[in-house]
Each structure stands twice: as C-alpha cells, then as structure tokens.
Chains A and B, each alone.
Chain A
Amino acid sequence: MSAPEIFFVGDDALAVKLAERAARHALAAALRASGQWVDVVPGKGEVTVQFDPLVVPPRQAEALLRQQAVDIPETEDVSVQAITLHMQADDTAGPDLARIAAENGLTAEAFLARISASPLIVDMMGFTAGFAYVSGLDPALIAPRLDTPRQRVPAGSVGMISGQLGLYALAGPAGWPIIGRIAEPLFDARREAPFTLEAGVSIQLVIER
C-alpha cells in the first residue's frame, strides 16, 4: 500500500492519517505493542502517538513512525473482539428514552429494537476516563445534544446522539441524552484491564425492560 500521510501534532506528538477505522485500530495496536511510544491514541481520522523528545528526538521519531506505518497489519488479520452487554431501558435508567423515541416517531420498543439491531462498534475511547464512542447506530435515528448537560449520570449510562451511542464507564457529567444503562460494570479497578471496552470491540446490545 502507499505510505500514509504523517504530520507533527506539536513538538512531541505525531499522527498518521488513516481513513479506514479497522486500519487505525490495527495500526494503534501495533504501535502500542512496539513499546516505542508513551501514548498511542486512535482518533476518528488518524492515530496519534506521543513521545519524549529527550528519549527519541523528533526527527528520529518521525522516521520510526514512517517505517512502522508502512507495515500496517492487514486488517483482515485483526480479529474483531465481540462483547454482549445488557442495557436496562426504563424511565429510571433512561430518563430521555421516551422523549427521544417519540421524537423519532417510534414506540420505545420499536426504537430500542432498531438500536439493538445496529452493528455497533467502539470507534474510540476518549473525552473522559473510559468514555466509549460507539458508531454503527441506525442512521435514521436522531437525537440532539442536551441544551444543558446533566451534572452527574450514573456509571454505565448510555448516551445517544445522531449516529452514535456514548457509554459512560464512570459516573460524571453528561451532555448526551440518556436512553438506558448497561448492567455489566464497564469499569472495575481490581481488574488488570479496568475498562471493559476498547477501540475496535463490537457490541451486541441486549435490551432489558
């Protein structure tokens, strides 16, 4: 394949531009496994790495990344992890569910059926600790952000905006309408990998009402 575009993000970070999500996740995994970078962060159009210039000078880091980016693993070689999560969807767990379903001209049951039938995949983690951006949501379903964010939603809350779900692993402020709550813990400090989700994981959502 042709060499992807690489550019500096400040004086101690570099990014590789990659349009395809699976390629970004494969490259991010390979870069993290190389142990050469302080942080490796997939975004929605690129993979960004941070380095310590006193350990790896910037031009050396650029050359290293250029070399690593050419050897992107073939995406079909990357196994897609799948996980089943149960979403409680009542007025308590999903305070905006009834309203958003109605705004889409659907009963709550029909609205939730469309969500659970969507090919959901964790696009990236970010924003705050453990927050998962989940893409693949049925594009016909729409929901605007809240005008006033909630100060605190419980851990496991499922937010929705048009085209995306957002899973809040920890309790905290939330600007997306909340349509349910995941029953399984998305965060457990005692586990070696405390967060259940990571970029590239596909989600089968089972609705519980």
Chain B
Amino acid sequence: MVVTVLTPGPLATLQGSARRGLRHQGIPASGPADPLSMALANRLCGNLPDVTAVEITFGGAAFEFRQDTVFSFAGAALSATLSGAPVPAHETLEAKNGDVLAFAHPAAGVRTYLAISGGLRAEAMFGSASTFLPAGFGGFLGRVLRAGDQMERAGAANKPPPLATPTPLRPHMARAHSLRAVPGPDFAALTPAVWRETFQTTNRMDRTGLELTGNWPKPEAGAHRPSAALFAGAVQLTPSGNGFVLLPDAQTTGGYPHILQVIRADRHLLGQIAPGDRVSFLTRSVDDAYQDLRAKAGYLAEWLPEFCF
C-alpha cells in the first residue's frame, strides 16, 4: 500500500489513458478532464503522461502516505500542505511514511492531479485504467474514491531527479476562459452571434459535461436531428435553451443541435472550468485549428515528448 484516502473531497477518481476505438459500442474516452495537467504532474515523477493518477475535484481532499515516495501535483491547486508544511504544485516532492497531504479548495480551476512515481494501480478495462462512473468500470473498483481506500503502486518506485515545470508551461487557472472552436455540423444561419457572446457556467457540471447559460440562438421548435456521433468538446443546444459542452465521460451519440466544436488543441482547458465562470468562443476554421494544434504540440514537445492531445 502506498497511499490511503483520508477524505476524497467532493469527487476523486483514478484516471489514466483515454479509451480509443470503442465509441461505436457506446464507450467514451474517459481519462483526465485536463490531460495536460495530469501529464505535467506525471512528468515530475518520471512517469509517462497517461500513467494512472488521482483526479481531485474542487480540492478538499487529504491522503496519507504509507511508504516513502516521490509524488507531485498539478492543475487547480497551486499549493497543498504536507503534514502541515506548505508544498508547491509543479515540483517533484518527497513524502515520508505517515505524511498527510491535504488540499484546500482552489481559488480558480476545478481539478488537481496527484501523481506518484510508478503510478497507481487500477482496474484496467477496455485497455485503460480510467474510471468511467456511469457504467462503473475502470479505476478503483469502478467507483469514486472513498475515505479509507488503500491504493497500491502500479509500477516500480523510481527516484527521478527533482524537477519543476518550466513556468511558461504551467497552465494558468482563471475564472474566465476563451476557447477556440470551429462551427459544428448544425451551425445555422442565426448562429454567428455566438462568437460575440459571453456565457456563464451553471452548477450543472461533472465529468460528462458542463452547462452554459447566456444568449444562445433559439433552437427551432423540437429541433432534433437523427442521432449521430459526438466527441468531447462538442457544444450542443439543449431544449432548455442552454448550451452543453461535452467532457471525456459524455455519451457517444446524441440528437441535439451540435453548433460548435471546441478544437482539439483546447479541450484540455474544459476540465478547469468551474460553475459561475465566464466562457467565450473564438472562431476558427478547420485549417486554423490544425495550425493551432501543431503550434501547441510543438510548444509542449520538448518537455512532454509523449503527450497526446
């Protein structure tokens, strides 16, 4: 045993790689809602980007180490306490057997990733250790972490040289978000106003998606199209009149108008959007989005050579 959960906070799960090639069976990607922050935490422990880590939602979580180990964290939390002493995000850290790591609620952002060297052991399902809560598989017994859960190390403990994430690569946590997006297949004649609007997230958010209120185009009465494939980053117009942005655990098909698609390069940002945050969309073409993706991948390549969007 390497880590015991003292309190999981509002929601904590184990997440690892994304599931691929199974959406035609209704199985979504899952994996971290903010894969970049998880990759950065893993990097500091000498792990590959998608080695299984704890995804902590809204902080408020505490863990007790049961072995001496190298660990790190990145994402919404800028700092935590280790047996009472402050420890920073984005640095390789060492814990002694019996140390307690505690996270407060973050001022901005949603999810923090706790990685340990060698990764955490999880139940692999469909080629991935990621928890998919709606069907109850993967991760820790297919469920959320609870107080008292005892987690094991998956791989060999290693002792990487102490590292710190280069400052320019640290994702900035904010309460306002600009997301680059391309028009979706149902981007209608009335839709161009969405590029000028600012939307606000409601309390309806989880790993399947987040709801945005604001001045959306009015869907035509009963607007519905034959169910078609959807992916994370899709922005649908729901019958409530609100937009709904899909996250990694979202359903794989749907029939509401699909008016925008957050571009692949920016989907990692979706995992840090909190209730009450402001969101606007920047218009991109498919060709722009490809250049954006190449630029961001190039920027990260030296520090995270194995990172996949």
CB distance from B155 to the nearest CB of A (A): 23
Chain B: CB-nearest residue to A127? B251
A157 to B27, CA, bound (A): 18
A171: B residues at CB distance < 8 A: 136
List B residues 184-241 near A (Cβ within 8 Å).
184-185, 225-229, 231, 233-234
Q: Does B282 belong to the interface (CB within 8 Å)? A: no
A131 to B236, CA, bound (A): 21
Q: Does B160 belong to the interface (CB within 8 Å)? A: no
Q: Does A128 belong to the interface (CB within 8 Å)? A: yes
Q: Does B303 belong to the interface (CB within 8 Å)? A: no
For A46, give its contact among B26, B28, B228 (CB under 8 Å): B228
- B263 pairs with A11, CB closer than 8 A: yes
Q: Does B2 belong to the interface (CB within 8 Å)? A: no
Chain A: CB-nearest residue to B208? A128
- Of B6-14, B50-58, B290-298, the segment with at least 4 beta carbons within 8 Å of chain A is B290-298
9 A/B residue pairs, CB under 8 Å, sorted by A? A12-B231, A13-B231, A15-B229, A46-B226, A46-B229, A125-B26, A126-B26, A171-B136, A172-B135
A171 to B262, CA, bound (A): 31
List A residues 32-60 near B (Cβ within 8 Å).
32, 38-46, 48, 50, 52-54, 57-59
- A10 pairs with B287, CB closer than 8 A: no
List B residues 14-41 near A (Cβ within 8 Å).
20-28
- A48 pairs with B293, CB closer than 8 A: no
Interface range, A side: 35 or more
A63 to B23, CA, bound (A): 23
Beyond A8-B182, A128-B135, A173-B134: 9 further Cβ-contacts under 8 Å? Answer: A39-B24, A40-B24, A41-B228, A44-B227, A45-B226, A48-B228, A52-B309, A125-B26, A172-B134
For A50, give its contact among B182, B231, B262, B290 (CB under 8 Å): B231
A32 to B234, CA, bound (A): 23
- B185 pairs with A128, CB closer than 8 A: no
A11 to B120, CA, bound (A): 33
A195 to B27, CA, bound (A): 11
A42 to B134, CA, bound (A): 22
- B26 pairs with A10, CB closer than 8 A: no
A133 to B125, CA, bound (A): 23
B228: A residues at CB distance < 8 A: 9, 15, 41, 43-46, 48
- A43 pairs with B229, CB closer than 8 A: yes
Interface range, B side: 35 or more
- A54 pairs with B294, CB closer than 8 A: yes
- B290 pairs with A126, CB closer than 8 A: no
A48: B residues at CB distance < 8 A: 228-229
Could you tell me which B residues sit within 8 Å of A by CB distance? Answer: 20-28, 125-126, 132, 134-137, 182, 184-185, 225-229, 231, 233-234, 251-254, 258, 261-264, 284, 286-287, 289-290, 293-294, 297, 308-309
B297: A residues at CB distance < 8 A: 54
A140 to B40, CA, bound (A): 57
CB distance from A202 to the nearest CB of B (A): 17
For B24, give its contact among A12, A42, A46 (CB under 8 Å): A42
B225: A residues at CB distance < 8 A: 45
CB distance from B49 to the nearest CB of A (A): 14
- B286 pairs with A11, CB closer than 8 A: yes
A53: B residues at CB distance < 8 A: 264, 289-290, 293
- B231 pairs with A7, CB closer than 8 A: no
Q: Does A198 belong to the interface (CB within 8 Å)? A: yes
Could you tell me which A residues sit within 8 Å of B by CB distance? Answer: 7-13, 15, 28, 32, 38-46, 48, 50, 52-54, 57-59, 124-131, 133, 170-173, 189, 194-195, 198-199
- B21 pairs with A38, CB closer than 8 A: yes
- B290 pairs with A10, CB closer than 8 A: no
A127 to B252, CA, bound (A): 5
- Are A58 and B286 also in contact (CB < 8 A) when A39-B23, A42-B24 are? yes
A52: B residues at CB distance < 8 A: 308-309
Chain A: CB-nearest residue to B249? A128
A195 to B234, CA, bound (A): 26
B27: A residues at CB distance < 8 A: 129-130
For B229, give its contact among A9, A54, A194 (CB under 8 Å): A9
A9: B residues at CB distance < 8 A: 184-185, 228-229, 231, 258, 261
- A13 pairs with B229, CB closer than 8 A: yes
A41 to B23, CA, bound (A): 6
- B135 pairs with A170, CB closer than 8 A: yes
A54: B residues at CB distance < 8 A: 293-294, 297, 309
A41 to B230, CA, bound (A): 9
- Are A59 and B26 also in contact (CB < 8 A) when A9-B229, A126-B252 are? no
A19 to B123, CA, bound (A): 40
